[in-house]
């Protein structure tokens, strides 16, 4: 399949594995690349730039195909060593970076001078237009359904994607609720040039997470996510668990007086405990509404083959058969 995204990133299929904390590691990233998509190493999962360099080299030992690095810019009092991470990305010969969080403009010149393509995650058309203005090569448009941070506008993809198509000149991919060939064809029909999947790729055999995580998502439906941290305007979609219930109870009790410090037990240092140790109630952790469409844990290759076969069937047979000649 050829789209502006496959051509921009030199990949076989217009399918990107988005950055996921303590999930976007070499085994999963390489498997996505080998299956024809674009895998993303999550930089901030690595404790320092040297560790990121080693993870990139580990991924290179597992695939000869193109892969990228996700780098999220956080509004932290003590920010990570972003110059060091970017040095490693450039020195390692990475050609695609997925940015997220704060505006990546301060870092764009260095990335562009290294001939690195930048795709920025956006939850609104206005943010996507800003990304286009500062020189991003593509954007990932994240609808309200997505895992993690859906923004504060609450616009689902059936509205957000065609709005983005109406406004943007650069290519974009659809993120949030993407699971299969139906998702891909629908995204293309709405104007996107491909899809970005997080939770669906987490639910593969190569995803380096505890079996408890995969079983929890298998047991979940589209009704089993919750939005937390809304009063802080840092909304996150997470799987419903005891920690989410405690956090929401604090939000209700404290109202406008809620501060980030009040919810540290539910959000700080959570991901290693959940993803590696399988402590399902150690805190809140991201999961998309797409959980309702996930019923198995295939290999990445099986998943990609299934997506493309279904997409081709829809495009060439089911939809084509509806045309009146």
Question: 20-73: per-residue pLDDT in tens?
Answer: 999 999 999 999 999 999 999 999 999 999 999 999 999 999 999 999 999 999
Nearest to 200 by CA among 100, 82, 296, 102: 296
CB-CB neighbours of 45 under 10 Å = 20
Question: 315-324: per-residue pLDDT in tens?
Answer: 999 999 998 8
**Sequence-distant (≥ 6) Cβ neighbours of residue 94 within 8 angstroms:** 56, 67, 68, 69, 116
Compute the distance between CA of residue 180 and CA of residue 314 in angstroms, rounded to an integer: 11
The overall longest dimension of the chain from CA atoms, in Å, is 64
Contact (Cβ atoms closer than 8 angstroms) between residue 143 and residue 150: yes
Question: 132-170: per-residue pLDDT in tens?
Answer: 999 999 999 999 999 999 999 999 999 999 999 999 999
pLDDT number for residue 75: 80
Sequence ranges of the domains in the chain: 4-207+296-321, 211-289
Q: Which CATH architecture is the domain 4-207+296-321 placed in?
A: Alpha-Beta Barrel (3.20)
Q: Which strand ranges, in their side-by-side order, compose the sheet holding 172-175?
A: 15-17, 195-197, 172-175, 138-142, 117-122, 96-101, 68-73, 40-42
pLDDT number for residue 237: 98
pLDDT number for residue 325: 79
φ/ψ (deg, to 5) at 103: -55, 125
The residue assigned the tokens 């764009």 is 108
Compute the distance between CA of residue 227 and CA of residue 244 in angstroms, rounded to an integer: 9
Q: State both tokens at 21.
A: 């904390």
Nearest to 98 by CA among 146, 160, 141, 161: 141
Q: State both tokens at 316.
A: 């060439």
For 154, how many CA atoms within 13 A lie in the half-sphere containing its CB? Answer: 4
208-215 mean pLDDT: 98
Mean per-residue pLDDT over the chain, rounded: 97
224-242 mean pLDDT: 97
Question: 161-202: per-residue pLDDT in tens?
Answer: 999 999 999 999 999 999 999 999 999 999 999 999 999 999
Compute the distance between CA of residue 312 and CA of residue 288 in angstroms, rounded to an integer: 25
Question: 73-107: per-residue pLDDT in tens?
Answer: 988 778 999 999 999 999 999 999 999 999 999 99
pLDDT number for residue 324: 86
Model confidence at 301, pLDDT cuts 50, 70, 90, reads very high
């Amino acid at each position: 399949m050829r789209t502006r995204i496959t051509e921009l990133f030199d990949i076989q299929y217009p399918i990107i594995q988005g950055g996921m904390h303590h999930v976007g590691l070499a085994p999963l990233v390489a498997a996505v690349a080998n299956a024809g998509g674009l895998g993303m190493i999550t930089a901030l999962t690595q404790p320092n730039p040297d560790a990121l360099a080693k993870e990139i080299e580990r991924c290179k030992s597992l695939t000869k195909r193109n892969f990228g690095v996700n780098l999220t810019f956080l509004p932290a009092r003590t920010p990570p060593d972003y110059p060091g991470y970017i040095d490693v990305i450039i020195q390692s010969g990475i050609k695609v970076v997925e940015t997220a969080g704060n505006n990546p403009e301060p870092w764009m010149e260095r990335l562009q001078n290294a001939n690195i393509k930048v795709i920025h995650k956006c939850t609104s058309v206005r943010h996507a237009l800003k990304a286009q203005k500062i020189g991003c090569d593509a954007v990932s448009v994240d609808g309200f359904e997505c895992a993690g941070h859906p923004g504060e506008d609450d616009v689902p993809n059936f509205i957000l994607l065609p709005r983005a198509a109406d406004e943007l000149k650069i290519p974009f991919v659809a993120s949030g609720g993407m699971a299969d060939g139906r998702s891909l064809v629908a995204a293309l029909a709405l104007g996107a040039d491909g899809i970005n999947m997080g939770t669906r790729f987490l639910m593969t055999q190569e995803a380096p997470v505890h079996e408890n995580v995969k079983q929890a998502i298998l047991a979940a439906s589209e009704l089993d996510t919750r939005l937390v941290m809304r009063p802080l305007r840092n909304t996150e979609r997470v799987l419903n668990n005891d920690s989410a219930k405690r956090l929401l109870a604090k939000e209700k009790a404290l109202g406008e007086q809620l501060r980030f410090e009040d919810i540290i037990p539910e959000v700080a240092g959570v991901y290693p405990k959940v993803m590696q140790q399988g402590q399902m109630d150690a805190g809140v952790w991201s999961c998309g509404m797409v959980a309702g469409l996930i019923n198995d844990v295939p290999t990445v290759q099986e998943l990609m083959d299934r997506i493309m076969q279904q997409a081709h069937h829809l495009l060439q047979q089911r939809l084509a058969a509806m045309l009146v000649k």
